[in-house]
Amino acid sequence: MASRNITFDPDLGVPYGTNLTIYGGADFSTTFNITNTANTAFDLTSYTGSGAISKSVSIGATLGITTSFTVGITSAVGGKLNISLGSTATRSLTEGRYVYDVLVSSGSTTYTLVNGNIMVVPPVSSAP
């Protein structure tokens, strides 16, 4: 499981950009350790998370939501959020470049915490 440290400034509301790789047919999971500009954990208490990926077909164009991540806040006070897809979901993704984002919401407040590109790599071989 990969872990990424990101800094988020809620006053600016600009998502942190980071690129990811998904291997088709394998479980995918990434944890984001989110800090604020004061370098303390971004408190996710009372927030819920969501995230989705979309196939990118050309620069600036996408095909709509391809699939949604399972998003879990693993430590609200510690600013830890996990996104994941099971092997069945990754197996159904076609090779290529996708875009993604991860949002958190509390009441009427919604922040896009992180976004970027995902490269989906197909399996080369399978176990017998």
- Determine, yes or no, domain membership for 90: yes
Q: Give domain status of residue 127, yes or no.
A: no
**Residue 73 belongs to a domain:** yes
- 128 in any annotated domain: no
Q: How many CA atoms lie within 13 A of 75 on its CB side?
A: 11
What CA–CA distance (Å, rounded) separates 96 from 112? 23
Looking at the 3D structure of the chain, how many domains does it have?
A: 1
Tens-digit pLDDT string for the chain (128 aa): 579 999 999 899 899 999 999 999 999 999 999 999 999 999 999 999 999 999 887 666 656 778 999 999 999 999 999 999 999 999 989 899 999 999 999 999 999 999 999 999 987 766 55
Q: Is 44 part of a structural domain of the chain?
A: yes
* Exposure of 89 in the CB half-sphere (CA atoms within 13 A): 14
Residue 53, judged by CB atoms within 10 A of its CB (0-12, 13-18, 19+), counts as buried
Q: Record the pTM.
A: 0.88
Q: What is the CATH number of the domain that holds 115?
A: 2.60.40.3350
**Structural domain of residue 38, as residue ranges?**
2-121
Q: Is 88 among the domain residues?
A: yes
| Residue 56 lies inside a defined structural domain of this protein | yes
Q: Report pLDDT for 61.
A: 60
